[in-house]
Structure 1
Amino acid sequence: MHRFMRAVGAPAVLTLLAPANALACACGCGIFDTGVTSITPQDSASGLSAFVRFSPLDQDRNHEGGHTASADDNADKRIQTEFYTVGLNYVIAHKWQILAELPVIHRNFTTTGADAQGNPVIEKVPMTGLGDALISVTYAGFAADQSTGIGLGIKLPTGRYTGPVDRYGDLPYDRDTVPGTGSTDLQVSAYHVGKISPALRWFAHAQFRFAVATRDAYRPGDEVDGAAGLTYDLQAGKTTLSPVMQVIGAVRAHDSGDNSDPLNSGYQRMLLAPGLRVQITPRLSVYGDVEFPVAQYVNAARSPAIEGTAGQLVAPVMFKMQVNYGI
């Protein structure tokens, strides 16, 4: 298999198939798992590889529609999150690939609460817990180089879907800000990798995620994610450097249910994500990128005076880093 195919072919696409809910948060930060954000090259004879991914996110800007809005409109003020994801990927006969991953989420949620006398107060409430696990299967046997594949996955409700109590006895976390959604989701996906020259390749991927079983009166919105981009291999001695440029897009519907906030959920978003993959040894590689929103529209209530709060918190930039090792 070509070196690039190990980098952004079927194994890479497998790990980017995670549904948006796997990393639930108010802004839909599951976009972390779309595009060439997770690369698991199959360099070992067993076909097994492991990866660890770190993704920090700081949502400190209130957004309404297609523009930044006043922080006073939104009762939530800031969401600082660190995502730690571990996973395994296994290739069977160069055709079938199985992925399993589990995130651990540490979050500081700054929001508007009330003290014992009912007066509004701004408080920061920390929480650490498991996120929702993902298991997916991809068939990549359409071509010998695994350049085309289709996948089916399931997101399991392993994550915590209730928040901690603050010092006043209240529950500041909403259902879209806890680590898990409480739902079981299915996803369908497809990808293709094309060759422009021996070193230059293009790739495209799309997936659709939807909940099939929910609990506690909350259903996350259905989501369509997609990515397209280019990568180029540069040889530096025994190390291969592969710059990546990709465009990532997502469309998510409103959440629903009595415990949801349908007016302030759902979005359309496009990001530009330059990145770099470094193949250090035949088994060890590191990938990182930076994602900049270039266009985004988030659903928001028409008036905070009527609905109580309006808007969604977004981040001006996102970062990812992943280490992969072929076992």
Structure 2
Amino acid sequence: MVSRCAFRRRFTPMLASGLALSTAFAPASAIACACGCGIFDVGVGAITPQDADSGLSVFARVSTMDQRDNRAQGHAASADDNPDKRITTDFYTLGATYMVKHRWLIMAELPVYHRQFTTTGSDTNGQDVIETVPLTAPGDALLRVTYTGFSPAMTTGLGLGVKLPTGRVTGPTDRYGNQPYDRDTMPGTGSTDVEFSGYHVGRLAGAARWFVQAQARFAVATRDHYRPGNEFNGAAGVAYDLAAGKTTLSPSLQLTASTRGRDSGANADPLNSGYQRLLLAPGLRVQVTRKLSVYAELAIPIAQYVNAARASDNADSSGQLVAPRLLSVQVNYGF
């Protein structure tokens, strides 16, 4: 039997600050993009903070996504249907959280994108060429306040956040003067979004626990005739703490669901944006010291549906590029 004080020491550090820590997949990702980077902000990786007695915690996350498979509706599609061929992205996120009297958690984070975009353009003779154009730029910052005072152990929290339009919204040109990046492939959406989030952690037998978390984001102010689709991400799973000397290993397994509506506006591609997907994500958290922890996660889509233009739409392209797996590693440190 775990005493109430021991329960608080063990689990409180895994609840509060972590809502702010995001990618287990890309940064709470303050990242907003058609690839669905908000998926990195939910799940055990985002509910795995630092020492609850610490006021200040910092975190750094690296996430990677390789979108190389064209998909239309619920099936694979021909690469010839889509002028975009591949998008590889590394997301680097830095953030900080501050706990106020075990009741309020304040979080801020900023992602940086390093992206390689391979797509079809035109050379000086008007012939089609496939070019890869790199881009490194900041994404959209996220600020969030979470109330965790529903119980002494902070096993439940409700959050309110705002995503700020700090990310880059104009892309570089290739060697022929083409501008391959469109609005849904840029690091920033140009919009100000409101986010609602919540989590709950429950106990199972021994050192096992279950958790659920959800996050919804809506654009409330947009610019340049582009509005990103509303996005919802949720996760449910189990985790177990294993003592290994002074180190604690916490393997976990979760299901993550994600849905995003179609983008809208003159600079959007509503026919080829929006999706629903379900991912299975094993992960491992290592509590190295009382203040230092590392979390790694691999997410694999097991079901997905993406909106795509149909033949009757007479569109120039059809389908969306998807990634066969998503990987994220996050380091947390509490002062």
TM-score by length of 2: 0.93
- Of residues 5, 11, 15 in structure 1, which corresponds to 2:17? 11
Structure 1 residues 224 and 252: CA distance shift in structure 2, 3 A: same
Q: Tell me how far apart the structure 1 counterparts of residues 178 and 267 of structure 2 sit (CA, whole Å).
A: 15
Residues 237-293 of structure 1, C-alpha deviations (whole Å, 9 max, x = no match) = 100000011100011100000000000000001000000000000011000010000
Residues 98-132 of structure 1, C-alpha deviations (whole Å, 9 max, x = no match) = 00000011000000101112111100000000000
Q: Tell me how far apart the structure 1 counterparts of residues 116 and 231 of structure 2 sit (CA, whole Å).
A: 25
> 21-30 or 102-111: which moved more?
21-30
Q: Tell me how far apart the structure 2 counterparts of residues 91 and 126 of structure 1 sit (CA, whole Å).
A: 38
Secondary structure of the structure 1 residue equivalent to 2:184: coil
User: Which residue of 2 is the match for residue 163 of structure 1?
Assistant: 171
Kindly indicate whether residue 260 of structure 2 is the aligned counterpart of residue 252 of structure 1: yes
Shift in Å, 1:24:
3.4
Residues 270-319 of structure 1, C-alpha deviations (whole Å, 9 max, x = no match) = 00000000000001100001000000000000039820100000010110
Kindly indicate whether residue 213 of structure 2 is the aligned counterpart of residue 205 of structure 1: yes
Shift in Å, 1:11:
2.2
Secondary structure of the structure 2 residue equivalent to 1:142: coil
Q: For residue 10 of structure 1, what is the amino acid of its counterpart?
A: A
Q: For residue 21 of structure 2, what is the amino acid of its counterpart?
A: T
Kindly indicate whether residue 113 of structure 2 is the aligned counterpart of residue 105 of structure 1: yes
Given that 1:20 and 1:28 are in contact with CA atoms closer than 8 Å, whether structure 2 keeps it comes out as no
Secondary structure of the structure 2 residue equivalent to 1:32: helix
Residues 9-54 of structure 1, C-alpha deviations (whole Å, 9 max, x = no match) = 2222333499978323442232122212345533274411000000
User: Which residue of 2 is the match for residue 291 of structure 1?
Assistant: 299
User: Which residue of 1 is the match for residue 191 of structure 2?
Assistant: 183
Structure 1 residues 113 and 156: CA distance shift in structure 2, 3 A: same
- Of residues 56, 64, 72 in structure 2, which corresponds to 1:64? 72
User: Which residue of 2 is the match for residue 139 of structure 1?
Assistant: 147
Structure 1 residues 138 and 305: CA distance shift in structure 2, 3 A: closer
Q: For residue 5 of structure 1, what is the amino acid of its counterpart?
A: T
Identity of aligned residues (%): 62
Q: Tell me how far apart the structure 1 counterparts of residues 191 and 285 of structure 2 sit (CA, whole Å).
A: 34
> 12-21 or 258-267: which moved more?
12-21
Q: Tell me how far apart the structure 2 counterparts of residues 304 and 125 of structure 1 sit (CA, whole Å).
A: 32
Runs of 5+ unmatched residues, structure 2: 1-7
Residues 73-104 of structure 1, C-alpha deviations (whole Å, 9 max, x = no match) = 00100001110000001100000000000001
Secondary structure of the structure 2 residue equivalent to 1:282: coil
Q: Tell me how far apart the structure 1 counterparts of residues 254 and 298 of structure 2 sit (CA, whole Å).
A: 10
Shift in Å, 1:208:
1.1
Secondary structure of the structure 1 residue equivalent to 2:324: coil
Given that 1:38 and 1:287 are in contact with CA atoms closer than 8 Å, whether structure 2 keeps it comes out as no
Q: Tell me how far apart the structure 2 counterparts of residues 136 and 20 of structure 1 sit (CA, whole Å).
A: 10
> 178-187 or 31-40: which moved more?
31-40
Alignment of 1:275-290 (within 5 A): 275-290=283-298
RMSD value, Cα: 1.8
Structure 1 residues 237 and 297: CA distance shift in structure 2, 3 A: same
Q: For residue 263 of structure 1, what is the amino acid of its counterpart?
A: L
User: Which residue of 2 is the match for residue 120 of structure 1?
Assistant: 128
User: Which residue of 2 is the match for residue 35 of structure 1?
Assistant: 43
- Of residues 182, 186, 201 in structure 2, which corresponds to 1:174? 182
Q: Tell me how far apart the structure 1 counterparts of residues 245 and 258 of structure 2 sit (CA, whole Å).
A: 38
Secondary structure of the structure 1 residue equivalent to 2:18: helix
TM-score by length of 1: 0.96
Residues 134-185 of structure 1, C-alpha deviations (whole Å, 9 max, x = no match) = 0000000000000011100000000001111111212100101011100000
Runs of 5+ unmatched residues, structure 1: none
Q: Tell me how far apart the structure 2 counterparts of residues 6 and 21 of structure 1 sit (CA, whole Å).
A: 20
- Of residues 205, 217, 223 in structure 1, which corresponds to 2:225? 217
User: Which residue of 2 is the match for residue 23 of structure 1?
Assistant: 31
Given that 2:96 and 2:109 are in contact with CA atoms closer than 8 Å, whether structure 1 keeps it comes out as yes
Q: Tell me how far apart the structure 2 counterparts of residues 212 and 5 of structure 1 sit (CA, whole Å).
A: 33
> 45-54 or 203-212: which moved more?
45-54
Q: Tell me how far apart the structure 2 counterparts of residues 315 and 303 of structure 1 sit (CA, whole Å).
A: 24
Shift in Å, 1:4:
3.0
Residues paired across the two proteins, number: 326
Q: Tell me how far apart the structure 2 counterparts of residues 297 and 321 of structure 1 sit (CA, whole Å).
A: 27
